[in-house]
């Protein structure tokens, strides 16, 4: 069973991974899958570094494929704060 620290519950809880599609990134249609861990107890989104890294790599690879532009690390932080 997957567990991660939930800031809302203030303890390690089990989570379920939800699949979503990122349709657009920085004005470009990317339609990339992203996986979002959600706390089974309170229903809030959790932050799991490993999953987030996979999401970002998938997104940035697609974006680079489409535009030829390499996404720099500073943009990664911006995206992470989006759901805060």
Starting at the edge strand found earlier in the chain, the sheet holding 11-25 runs: 3-6, 11-25, 28-39
Which is nearer to Zn ion, 21 or 42 (by Cβ)?
42
What is the closest distance, in whole angstroms, from the C-beta atom of residue 51 to Zn ion in the complex? 16
Which secondary structure element, helix H or strand E, spans residue 63, and what is its range? helix 49-67
Which is nearer to Zn ion, 37 or 63 (by Cβ)?
37
What is the closest distance, in whole angstroms, from the C-beta atom of residue 13 to Zn ion in the complex? 5
What is the closest distance, in whole angstroms, from the C-beta atom of residue 19 to Zn ion in the complex? 20
Contact 42, 12 (CB under 8 A): no
Q: Which residues lie near Zn ion (CB under 5 A)?
A: 6, 8-9, 13, 39, 41-42
Rounded to whole angstroms, how far apart are CA atoms 61 and 30?
10
């Amino acid at each position: 069973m997957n567990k991660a620290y939930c800031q809302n519950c203030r303890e390690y809880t089990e989570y379920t991974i939800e699949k979503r599609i990122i349709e657009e990134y920085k004005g470009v249609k990317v339609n990339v899958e992203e996986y979002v861990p959600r706390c089974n107890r309170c229903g809030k989104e959790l932050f799991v570094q490993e999953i987030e890294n996979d999401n970002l790599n998938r997104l940035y690879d697609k974006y680079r494929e489409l535009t030829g532009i390499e996404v720099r690390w500073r943009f990664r932080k911006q995206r992470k704060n989006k759901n805060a």
